[in-house]
Structure 1
């Protein structure tokens, strides 16, 4: 059994976190609508070298959308390695001995000296290149995790959009059928209006020959014939339904079909010789605009 096609929105958000004993990091990914794939990265100093890899990964995963990726890196509080600043300690000891005879005070104690600023210093151990490489890979993997979450959210939003798109498309189908039924009665209505107009203009004069009336009616009917527009509209509807069954990025092609829908609806309204057909045409244009608003969110 063939799995149903999955449409994706271009809107989504995802977050991924990680860390080790010295550094923690957070990825935040946001995407919104865009004509193509636009990638923007905000990386802390020292992490800029990751961007080419991230761009390649995102380009392999996403087809359209404006992607904003933010990386936040914070230093974790690791156990410090302490060392004694011998120079400062020697100076303090010498000063204490020098002042023993001048000021009455207890002898200097080691714990007191070590508590003075500058005697004990924290030394940050240098990291090996291997540890830096592992951290770089972990941060890159965190981006991939966030990217998967973004794709999942865009898929959920895409499923909701697909329901709306199908609903608007069904409304267009109903209006196309109504327009076709109304257009079928146009030739007789045009002929009747022409006969009434000519009878009024000619008054008591002899009426025009039936053949001449038929020619004039045929000319008007030809100008008002909307069957070709309705046939093209029906073909665009069928093409849209086929695209909705495809997996992947179909938003751009559906948007193009919406432009074609609108072209046929405009021609339908301009050629209409019937109030009801004009009303249907205007309602059709509204339904097409609603459809396009949703399609422009699709990847």
Structure 2
């Protein structure tokens, strides 16, 4: 089943004295590139999150953001006596050093002291990080389920597009087979005319040798093998549409093979009709390759 590398989900939750908002989104990528933006100080959250996301996504550039807030702890602070004493002692030393050099410093304000590190501390104790981590991880499965559901829905739409393009390639392959068959009488007549010209311009030439060379040219212009391989690639692509697990890399390789056969078909065409079909094939294959870049 086709899964897209494009997805998004967001979820709000609360627990262990905190509110939070999860945000996860992904776009296409060659491998799995997981970027996390998490608050500091929640030990064990990152490895657990990486493992959980890895069970859902195997490819893509995935970013996960977690924003935490503490309701009711609106920047209420209390004085830290030890911190204040250390700050005042430091201020005395600075003032004494300035006076010794004849410098006069402006008297600090209370608000200036309050902004120094350690002078104040939160009045509300920090949340239990173990309980917070457990609450966050418990809230993760619904978020990842929504994220996975969107990627699968995008994948289903992508599969329909790819199925239509594969059908178009199959139809053009059969049209190329008909065009190749239609050119056979014309090609045979062209070879006979070429043989006659060679024999006329070089009377001493060995007719058998000339005929052999012309036969080799005819073989090189035959597109039967290319058509057979295109049909095989069509069958393989249709099978990939229903194959479980990530198939994006396989589809990408198959698209390259499609392109190679279409290029060879154009180089061997030998007729305007077959060349036009080959160009149409290349156009559809290029469109398909663009869509495949989003397949996981």
Is the TM value for this pair above 0.5? yes
Measure, in 2, the Cα distance between the counterparts of 1:81 and 1:217: 94
TM-score in terms of structure 1 length: 0.76
| TM alignment of 1:76-91, pairs within 5 A | 76-77=71-72
Contact 2:195 2:211 (8 Å CA) reproduced: no
Contact 1:36 1:65 (8 Å CA) reproduced: yes
Once the two structures are superposed, what CA deviation does each residue of 1:24-65 show, in whole Å capped at 9, x if it has no partner?
Answer: 110100100011111000112223641111111111221111
- Alpha-carbon RMSD across the aligned residues, in angstroms, is 3.3
Unaligned runs of 5+ in 1: 1-5, 84-120
Contact 1:195 1:213 (8 Å CA) reproduced: no
Measure, in 2, the Cα distance between the counterparts of 1:74 and 1:161: 38
Contact 1:190 1:217 (8 Å CA) reproduced: no
Once the two structures are superposed, what CA deviation does each residue of 1:154-210 show, in whole Å capped at 9, x if it has no partner?
Answer: 01100100000000000000011011111123332222223445667888999x998
Secondary structure at the residue paired with 2:62? strand
Which residue in 1 is equivalent to 2:278?
A: 281
Greater Rg by CA: 1
Which residue in 2 is equivalent to 1:168?
A: 165
Q: Once the 2 structures are TM-superposed, how far is the Cα of residue 140 of structure 1 from its aligned partner?
A: 1.7
Query: Structure 1 188/218 Cα, relative in aligned 2: closer, same or farther at 3 Å?
Result: farther
Once the two structures are superposed, what CA deviation does each residue of 1:91-134 show, in whole Å capped at 9, x if it has no partner?
Answer: xxxxxxxxxxxxxxxxxxxxxxxxxxxxxx997353675xx422
Q: Once the 2 structures are TM-superposed, how far is the Cα of residue 220 of structure 1 from its aligned partner?
A: 2.2
Which residue in 2 is equivalent to 1:75?
A: 70
Q: Once the 2 structures are TM-superposed, how far is the Cα of residue 285 of structure 1 from its aligned partner?
A: 0.6
TM-score in terms of structure 2 length: 0.76
Measure, in 2, the Cα distance between the counterparts of 1:18 and 1:237: 47
Which residue in 1 is equivalent to 2:265?
A: 268
Contact 2:38 2:65 (8 Å CA) reproduced: yes
Secondary structure at the residue paired with 2:13? strand
Secondary structure at the residue paired with 1:9? coil
Which residue in 2 is equivalent to 1:147?
A: 144
